[in-house]
């Protein structure tokens, strides 16, 4: 089926209808919407893959949803979903398929790239990872002194770090507590030194995770790890016992000195930020074990099936993406806060930052045109509750900006402790209620507040939020939640007519850093040709470097 040609987004009748509708909605308060429809709190909810989603506190009506759905139809969302699952090269600037959904496909399914059903290869790698992880977890894999591995250090950055560290923290409850896991990403030497200072090289395994195996930060850390290991073992042979690689680049892996027999592969149709369920998840599998890892994949898969098959109007990732567009483009929100009320999800906002902003932080359309008449990706940020409540929630409640919030909560705690969980969940519900309904001046007066304090103690409310609830945080639920956000990001990118799967914006900084490195380190101190600011910063650093 041909994908409809995109015409300028803001000229679409459904966009213009939304604009008109939004000017009416600007003056409609959530208090009124709830008063006018007592069923609202039940109607604007969906449940799928173990996730219950209440989006009734978004500033929407049935008309808003209908208009957003007609915009989605006009932008060809259904056809684009089909194109992704079919393996079309929808990453057009890199001419690549985008098939992270194949990473969690069941063995009998088929996803074809260049005439090859990649699901066979996916399962072959999963099987190899399983054998390897079992040998580490069983203590059969021995280090250079004959001791089993007790510590695992993942070296990677971006998608080769944020997904693994987020998943490790999220699923820590299921992890082997007698194994130590560390994650090194920053090129700042402190990251490596602090991560390894109490580790015994004879019991340490390094996983060098890099899709390209050329990333400056990762390769620098990998070389330091190599030296750290050789300083202890004094034997090149130890590298084979203590280093494995996860990459798409076998030749760079073997140049580094890692036997490609100890390499777990993935493919160019897996974007870095969409790779945590590929071999990039090796540290996750080592921590939680192959069975739990496969449960996580089945959670991803269940959400993929829902996304691919549910009608747009009851499709959670589609509606979630459309609400992000509504809040960004029609209600003027510049950012979205993601607020997990689950300590294990403490790295979830950081992971989502890359997933969302590296995907949709673009100002050029798929046709190469500058986007001048609408905003694209909002800034994503957040912290686990309730810590944020004592920090930035002031702004969310009473600031001048609209910050739509996604609250995440679970019915059951994995660590039940007296009243803690009831208090935690009470805070989720209270925050969403306070944001939506606020507190009027009259209510503040009725509480006996001094008149001069009334404006300060008034909460306007009408601040949009959604609440996700699930039974408890387990590998399957985590997988479904992650797939939901992946697909929501995709839907947003389709509406904004951008390529969500490239990341050219990270290149310039890398290029300039490569030029500046020799200018800082070389004894000859080459003459500088940057702007006056950069030149003087480099000069200052050189003189400090010389002095120390």
Instruction: Name the one residue in this structure whose structure tokens are 């992946």.
Output: 486
Is 110 in contact with 116 (CB distance < 8 Å)?
no
For 384-425, strand residue ranges (E) read: 405-410
Q: Is 362 in the site for ligand F6P (CB under 6 A)?
A: no
The C-alpha angle with vertex 259 and arms to 258 and 263, in degrees rounded to 5, equals 85
Taking the mean position of all CA atoms in its chain, how far away is CA 124? 26
Q: Which of 78, 196, 215, 488 binds ligand F6P (CB under 6 A)?
A: 215
Q: Is 157 in the site for ligand F6P (CB under 6 A)?
A: yes
Return d(Cα 148, Cα 154) in angstroms, integer: 17
Q: Which of 40, 273, 362, 487 binds ligand F6P (CB under 6 A)?
A: 273
Q: Is 185 in the site for ligand F6P (CB under 6 A)?
A: no
CB atoms within 10 A of CB 237: 8
Q: Is 513 in the site for ligand F6P (CB under 6 A)?
A: no
Q: Is 59 in the site for ligand F6P (CB under 6 A)?
A: no
Instruction: Name the one residue in this structure whose structure tokens are 């290149």.
Output: 507
* Residue 358 among the catalytic residues: yes
Q: Is 221 in the site for ligand F6P (CB under 6 A)?
A: no
Phi, psi of 537 (to 5 degrees): -65, -40
Q: Which of 218, 224, 458, 488 binds ligand F6P (CB under 6 A)?
A: 218
For 446-505, strand residue ranges (E) read: 465-470
For 400-486, strand residue ranges (E) read: 405-410, 465-470
Name the residue nearer to ligand F6P (CB basis): 76 or 159.
159
Q: Is 160 in the site for ligand F6P (CB under 6 A)?
A: yes
Q: Which of 76, 87, 272, 361 binds ligand F6P (CB under 6 A)?
A: 272
Helical packing angle, 13-25 and 62-74, nearest 10°: 160
Burial class (CB in 10 A: 0-12, 13-18, 19+), 538: middle
Q: Is 378 in the site for ligand F6P (CB under 6 A)?
A: no
Name the residue nearer to ligand F6P (CB basis): 395 or 506.
506
Q: Is 506 in the site for ligand F6P (CB under 6 A)?
A: yes
Name the residue nearer to ligand F6P (CB basis): 159 or 289.
159
Say which of 48, 358, 383, 519 is annotated catalytic. Answer: 358
Return the range that interacts with ligand F6P (CB under 6 A); candidates 14-22, 24-32, 206-214, 377-385: 206-214
Name the residue nearer to ligand F6P (CB basis): 211 or 301.
211
Q: Which of 276, 277, 272, 248 lies closest to 260, judged by CA?
A: 248
Helical packing angle, 475-496 and 316-325, nearest 10°: 50
Q: Which of 97, 185, 204, 210 binds ligand F6P (CB under 6 A)?
A: 210
Q: List, in sequence order, every residue forming a beta bridge with 148; answer none if it has no partner.
A: 142
Q: Is 56 in the site for ligand F6P (CB under 6 A)?
A: no
Return the range that interacts with ligand F6P (CB under 6 A); candidates 53-61, 152-160, 251-259, 341-349: 152-160
Q: Is 360 in the site for ligand F6P (CB under 6 A)?
A: no
Q: Is 398 in the site for ligand F6P (CB under 6 A)?
A: no
CB neighbours of 464 closer than 8 A, spacing ≥ 6? 30, 57, 58, 59, 327, 331, 333, 402, 404, 405, 435, 436
How many residues lie near ligand F6P (CB under 6 A)?
Answer: 14
Whether a cis peptide bond, with omega within 30° of 0, leads into 386 is yes
Q: Which of 425, 387, 392 lies closest to 408, judged by CA?
A: 425
Q: Is 154 in the site for ligand F6P (CB under 6 A)?
A: no
The least CB distance from residue 281 to ligand F6P, in Å, is 13
Q: Is 97 in the site for ligand F6P (CB under 6 A)?
A: no
Q: Is 283 in the site for ligand F6P (CB under 6 A)?
A: no
Q: Is 21 in the site for ligand F6P (CB under 6 A)?
A: no
Q: Is 124 in the site for ligand F6P (CB under 6 A)?
A: no
CB neighbours of 147 closer than 8 A, spacing ≥ 6? 200, 202, 203
Residues noted as catalytic: 358, 390, 510
Q: What residues make contact with ligand F6P under the rule CB under 6 A? A: 157-160, 210-212, 215, 218, 272-273, 358, 503, 506
């Amino acid at each position: 089926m041909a994908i409809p040609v995109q015409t300028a987004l803001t000229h679409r009748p459904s966009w213009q209808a939304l604009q008109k509708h939004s000017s009416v909605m600007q003056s409609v308060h959530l208090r009124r919407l709830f008063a006018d429809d007592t069923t609202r709190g039940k109607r604007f909810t969906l449940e799928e893959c173990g996730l219950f989603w209440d989006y009734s506190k978004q500033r929407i009506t049935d008309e808003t949803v209908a208009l957003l759905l007609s915009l989605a139809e006009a932008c060809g969302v259904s056809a684009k979903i089909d194109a992704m699952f079919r393996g079309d090269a929808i990453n057009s600037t890199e001419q690549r398929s985008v098939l992270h959904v194949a990473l969690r496909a069941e063995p009998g399914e088929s996803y074809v790239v260049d005439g090859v059903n990649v699901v066979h290869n996916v399962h072959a790698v999963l099987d190899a990872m399983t054998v390897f992880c079992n040998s580490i977890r069983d203590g059969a894999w021995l280090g250079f002194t004959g001791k089993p591995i007790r510590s695992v250090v993942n070296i990677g950055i971006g998608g080769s770090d944020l997904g693994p560290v987020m998943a490790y923290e999220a699923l820590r409850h299921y992890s082997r507590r007698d194994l130590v896991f560390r994650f090194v990403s920053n090129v700042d030497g402190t990251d490596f030194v602090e991560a390894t200072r109490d580790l015994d090289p004879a019991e340490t395994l390094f996983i060098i995770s890099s899709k390209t195996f050329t990333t400056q930060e990762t390769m620098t850390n990998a070389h330091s790890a190599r030296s750290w290991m050789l300083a202890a073992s004094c034997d090149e042979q130890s590298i084979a016992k203590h280093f494995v690689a996860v990459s798409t680049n076998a030749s760079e892996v073997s140049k580094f000195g890692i036997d490609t027999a100890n390499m777990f592969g993935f493919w160019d149709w897996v974007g870095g930020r969409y790779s945590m369920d590929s071999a990039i998840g090796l540290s996750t599998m080592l921590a939680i074990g192959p069975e739990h890892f496969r449960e996580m994949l089945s959670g991803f898969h269940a959400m993929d099936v829902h996304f691919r098959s549910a009608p747009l109007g009851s499709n959670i990732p589609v509606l979630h993406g459309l609400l992000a567009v509504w809040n960004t483009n029609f209600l003027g929100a510049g950012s979205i806060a993601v607020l997990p009320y689950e300590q294990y999800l403490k790295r979830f906002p950081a992971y989502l930052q890359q997933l969302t902003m590296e995907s949709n932080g673009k100002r050029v359309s798929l046709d190469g045109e500058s986007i001048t008449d609408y905003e694209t990706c909002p800034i994503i940020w957040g912290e686990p509750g309730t810590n944020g409540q004592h920090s930035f929630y002031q702004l969310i409640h009473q600031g001048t900006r609209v910050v739509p919030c996604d609250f995440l909560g679970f019915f059951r705690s994995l660590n039940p402790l007296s009243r803690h969980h009831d208090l935690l969940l009470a805070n989720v519900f209270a925050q969403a209620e306070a944001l939506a309904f606020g507190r009027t001046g009259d209510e503040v007066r009725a509480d006996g507040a001094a008149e001069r304090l009334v404006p300060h103690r008034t909460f306007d409310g009408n601040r949009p939020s959604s609440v996700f609830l699930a039974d408890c945080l387990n590998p399957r639920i985590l997988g479904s939640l992650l797939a939901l956000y992946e697909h929501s990001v995709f839907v947003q990118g389709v509406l904004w007519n951008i390529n969500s799967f490239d990341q050219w914006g990270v290149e310039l900084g890398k290029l300039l850093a490569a030029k500046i490195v020799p200018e800082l380190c070389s004894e000859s101190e080459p003459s500088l040709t940057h702007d006056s600011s950069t030149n003087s910063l480099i000069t200052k650093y050189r003189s400090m470097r010389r002095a120390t």
